[in-house]
Amino acid sequence: MLDVFVEAFDDDVIYQEKFNDYFKPGYMKDPIDFYLTHKIKPNVVQFKVGMYPVLNGVFVDHAPILFETGDHLELKYKIQKMGKVGFN
């Protein structure tokens, strides 16, 4: 399972401003500095995502997946919302 973090925001004006610079602004030593400098508390939600290949009805737990013409490959997935992530 992978951890996926999604940031949702209502107003992206301040986020768009950071793209005006081609590189990291001088004050940023670490990505979190952007949030601290602009006093932004991001709204971040964590999800756990799992993808499970099934070949001809049999779960495959190794890579690469080798299959031939006529085989049936399915991908089953599971997404769990873990909740909001604190800003610290």
> Residue 65's domain spans which residues?
2-85
Residue with tokens 């602004």: 25
The per-residue pLDDT for range 50-59, each reduced to its tens digit, is 999 999 999 9
* 10-residue mean pLDDT series, the chain (88 residues): 85 63 64 77 91 94 90 96 88
User: Exposure of 6 by Cβ count < 10 A (0-12 exposed, 13-18 middle, 19+ buried)?
Assistant: exposed
User: Residue 23: what pLDDT?
Assistant: 53
As for how many domains the chain has, the answer is 1
- What pTM did the predictor assign? 0.64
Single-letter amino acid code for the residue at 50: G
Which of 13-51 are b and which e, b meaning 16 or more Cβ less than 10 Å from the residue's Cβ? eeeeeeeeeeeeeeeeeeeeebeeeeeeeeeeeeeeeee
Residue 8's pLDDT is 79
